């Protein structure tokens, strides 16, 4: 499969960060456990109870300081550094573990915990503090207008046109550690198939769209991804 591949699009989900100790969303220990999505991850929830929503994301942002990239993040960063063709790593994750591992050709389609969006000046700024304390916007200095720069349910993920173009122009689409439960990311495999692209899934168990993939490898991302990266790099 590798020989004809020039351009690659990779999609990652919470499973890629699970071995770093970041909770996934679904399943018994999932992040939504104890929280209803509609209480913490919608614009309506933020309008109704901003303090609850800010504290939920403040806790997740604080948790980032206690975790490190794992072998899967590191292997993907190595692939990015060495792959001569186009490569786009699209992550649904709002953690910064791909960034810290060194991935450069990276797009956070669901936003980032370490980014603040000011609803007064509409600017986004790097942010690693506590939003529930109502800090001033680093850009316009007004207080009381920052929200987590996270794509909530009912909002449009970032850079969809760029992702669609990359899918149309790639030769291989790889999905890692995502349950395939949330669109539009869950539909990328179908777009890739529509464009005649080879597709590979790596996940702990079959995702909801598993049957769309040409090949599925089941196991832990920290084992599967370094093996796959070694495989694909040996052919360049």
CB of 12 to ligand OAD, least distance (A): 8
Per-residue burial over 147-165, b if 16 or more Cβ lie within 10 Å, else e, is bbbbbbeeeebbeeeebee
Closer residue to ligand OAD, CB minimum distance, 41 or 174: 41
Give the residue at shortest CB distance from ligand OAD: 15
The C-alpha atoms of residue 70 and residue 17 are separated, in whole angstroms, by 7
CA dist 9 and 83 (Å) reads: 12
E-only strand ranges, 120-233: 124-126, 146-150, 172-176, 198-203, 215-218
Q: Catalytic: 110? A: yes
Q: Count CA atoms within 13 Å of residue 143 on its CB side.
A: 7
Nearer to ligand OAD, 177 or 226 (CB): 177
Across 62-71, b (16+ Cβ under 10 Å) vs e yields eebeebebbb
| Min dist. Cβ of residue 204 to ligand OAD (A) | 4
Binding site for ligand OAD (CB under 6 A): 13-15, 18-19, 24-26, 30, 41, 92, 110, 151, 177-179, 181-182, 203-205, 207, 220-221
Q: Please report the sign of the dihedral spanned by the C-alpha atoms of residue 136, residue 60, residue 55, residue 150.
A: positive
How far apart are CB 24 and ligand OAD at their closest, in Å? 3
Question: Measured from the CB atom, is 7 or 91 closer to ligand OAD?
Answer: 91
- CA nearest to 186, candidates 220, 169, 211: 211
CB nearer to ligand OAD: give 7 or 90: 90
Q: What is the smallest separation between the CB atom of 231 and ligand OAD, expressed in angstroms?
A: 17
Residue with smaller CB distance to ligand OAD, 7 or 94: 94
Active-site residue among 73, 108, 110, 212? Answer: 110
- Which H/E stretch holds residue 116? strand 111-118
- Residues forming a β-bridge with 130: none
- Provide, rounded to whole angstroms, the least separation between the CB of residue 95 and ligand OAD: 10
88 touches 9 (CB < 8 A): yes
Q: Which residues are catalytic?
A: 110
């Amino acid at each position: 499969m590798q020989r004809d591949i020039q351009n690659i699009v990779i999609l990652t989900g919470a499973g890629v960060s699970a071995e770093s100790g970041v909770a996934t969303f679904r399943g018994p220990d999932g992040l939504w456990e104890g929280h209803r999505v509609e209480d913490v991850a919608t614009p309506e929830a933020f309008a109704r109870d901003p303090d609850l929503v800010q504290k939920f994301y403040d806790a997740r942002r604080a948790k980032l300081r206690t975790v490190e990239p794992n072998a899967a993040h590191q292997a993907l960063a190595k692939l990015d550094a060495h792959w001569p063709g186009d490569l786009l790593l699209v992550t649904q994750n709002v953690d910064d573990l791909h960034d810290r591992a060194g991935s450069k050709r990276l797009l956070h389609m669901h936003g980032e915990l370490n980014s603040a969006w000011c609803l007064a000046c509409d600017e986004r700024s790097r942010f690693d503090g506590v939003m529930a304390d109502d800090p001033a916007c680093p850009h316009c200095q007004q207080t009381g207008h920052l929200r987590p720069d996270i794509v909530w349910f009912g909002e449009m993920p970032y850079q969809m046109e760029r992702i669609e173009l990359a899918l149309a122009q790639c030769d291989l689409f790889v999905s890692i550690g995502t349950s395939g439960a949330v669109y539009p990311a869950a539909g990328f495999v179908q777009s890739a198939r529509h464009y005649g692209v080879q597709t590979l899934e790596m996940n702990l168990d079959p995702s909801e769209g598993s049957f769309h993939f040409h090949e599925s490898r089941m196991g832990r991302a920290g084992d599967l991804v370094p093996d796959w990266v070694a495989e694909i790099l040996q052919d360049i």
